[in-house]
Amino acid sequence: MKTINIYALTRIEKPADLTRYDRQMSGRNHFLKIKDWEIRGLKALTTHLYDMTGDFSCLNFYYSFTIPKLGKEFDLLRINRDTIINIELKSHSISDERIKYQLQLNRNYLASLNRSIRSYTYLSNEDRLFRLSNSGNLIEADWDTLCRDILGQDDCIEENIEQFFKEEKYLISPLTDPERFLKGNYFLTSQQKDIKKQILTNIRNPHKGIMQMQGFMGLPGTGKTLLLYDIAMELSSGSRRVCVLHFGSFPDEMRMLDSRLKRVDFYACAELYRLPVPEGYSCIFVDEGHRMSKELLDELISVNQERKIPVIISYDYEAIISPYERPDDTGELIDSLPDFIRYRLTNRIRMNSELSSYICCVMNYKGTHRMKAYPSVSLYYANDTEEADIILNDCTKNGYIHISDNSLATCREFTRVVMTIDSAFYYDEDGFLRSSDTPENKNTGHNVRRLFHGLNRAQSALSIIVINNPDVFDVLLTIAQGH
């Protein structure tokens, strides 16, 4: 996205021409919906600034920029090498506290750019300007101060603002970045916030006094664990204690969270046959719920009904995998529970769309997820395990994490991931990837799921080594070439 001159923008009278002009000059890929009050307020602000500066060029701003995937919007931004100017537009009277809260929240988002931040709000119906001081106090500002800040910015960055707002700065996994999670250095997407709000509302206002079971599902990388743990943190305030039942691997990062969060108890449940849920918890959280056995799910339902305690379940969406490769899919059982309140996370926030598309195509090459190119995917062919080891060693030297078992295929994310596909894999007539028994491989029923979850641990780059399987290699290469 590029800056747009707000003086030039506000000279246009026809609403349709205004939105067309904005799209052309800003380079955004959609038409912006601009309300009448917004353009009136922007025009009043522009009049003040131009009358005092007489400088047309200093009125270039990023207008109505939204951080990708987070949905956080800024009305006006100017950025140079050491300063950011943020101006928010309001058309009607709002409380000082609300103005202060928004400017402080904006400052928190902008802090990752490591620049001095000048924060303003213009209240157009009262023609008043406010500023957030460096100490965090809201004060009424004069136009001279704002104009000095603007004129003091030289060599402003005029395009590609997205480079400053990479999602990894804001969107984390509690198990990949436990320290950042514990310090609260993360943000939820607008979709995560909506789901959180609805879940908390249902808990605080139960239907007819019944504590219904709730949960959310989504593909790997949609931020389920972050949302689950964030809600757990909120519900563990005061004297209340909650527990998290985790059905994946139990890494050191989870032990750190268990030791540091005094009112949240974590239990490793992957190998258990009974639920470890003693009395005294105000809420039960279930992570990796799709890995839970039917017997443990039945026990969880009993606990919910007998103790009248809310249960929140996070689980993966595995429908993209062949149904024959997930015969014990507990996710489908959870979906079918009577009165279960389900939400779905749809945005892949910790994986680029390219890798997400490729993985979906690997699972079913007849699907509709295909892109034209996959530059972040590397494919290799090996005739035997000895050749595969040579390639694998080179990948690991270049920073790729080799995921070969379920302990790494759950929970954590890695910048680069490498996995192998051997001769046990094949594609069925419906285009689904399948796995069969071979003398070397007896793990039928789990290989495709392990591959799927392992590939989804990659954040930015993926390598696949195909071993002695020309048919599958041909399909993967065809997908990678966009055919």
Q: What 3-state DSSP class applies to 276?
A: coil
Using 50, 70 and 90 to split pLDDT, how confident is the model at 227? Answer: very high
Cα–Cα distances (Å) from 355 to 100, 352, 376, 433, in that order, read 40, 6, 7, 17
> Which of 143, 148, 159 lies closest to 65 in space, CA to CA?
159
Task: Determine the Cα–Cα distance for residues 144 and 149; give it in Å rounded to an integer.
Answer: 9
| Tens-digit pLDDT profile for residues 326-349 | 777 788 889 888 889 999 998 766
Most confident listed range (158-167, 294-303, 419-428): 419-428
Give me the CATH code for the 178-344 domain, please: 3.40.50.300
| pLDDT, tens digit (0-9, with 9 covering 90-100), for 363-405 | 999 876 677 889 999 999 999 999 999 999 999 999 999 998 6
According to the model, what pLDDT value does residue 338 have? Answer: 86
Whether the per-residue pLDDT at 350 is higher than 70: the answer is no
- Coil, strand, or helix at residue 294? helix
- Of 463 and 177, the one with more pLDDT: 463
pLDDT of residue 438: 53
Please tell me the distance from the alpha carbon of residue 157 to that of residue 2, in angstroms, as a whole number.
Answer: 9
| Residue 266 or 219, more confident | 266
Angle at 266 between CA 262 and CA 271, to 5 degrees: 160
Q: What is the pLDDT of residue 14?
A: 87
Residue range 429-437: mean pLDDT, rounded: 90
**How large is the average pLDDT for residues 189-202?**
92
**Nearest CA-CA partner of 127 in 40, 203, 6:** 40
358: Cβ–Cβ under 8 A, 6 or more apart, which residues?
A: 371, 374, 377, 462, 479, 480
Q: What burial class does residue 405 get, using C-beta atoms within 10 Å of its C-beta: 0-12 exposed, 13-18 middle, 19+ buried?
A: exposed
Higher pLDDT: 319 or 41? It is: 41
Q: Where are the domains of the chain?
A: 4-165, 178-344, 353-480
475 pLDDT band, cuts 50/70/90, is very high
User: How is domain 353-480 classified at the CATH fold level?
Assistant: Rossmann fold (3.40.50)
> What average pLDDT score do residues 167-189 get?
83
Decide the pairing of beta strands 60-66 and 4-5.
antiparallel
CA distance 299 to 94: 50
**How sure is the predictor about 209, in pLDDT bands with cuts at 50, 70 and 90?**
low
354 phi, psi to nearest 5 deg: -65, -50
**What mean pLDDT is predicted for residues 44-71?**
91
**Residue 251: is its pLDDT beyond 90?**
no
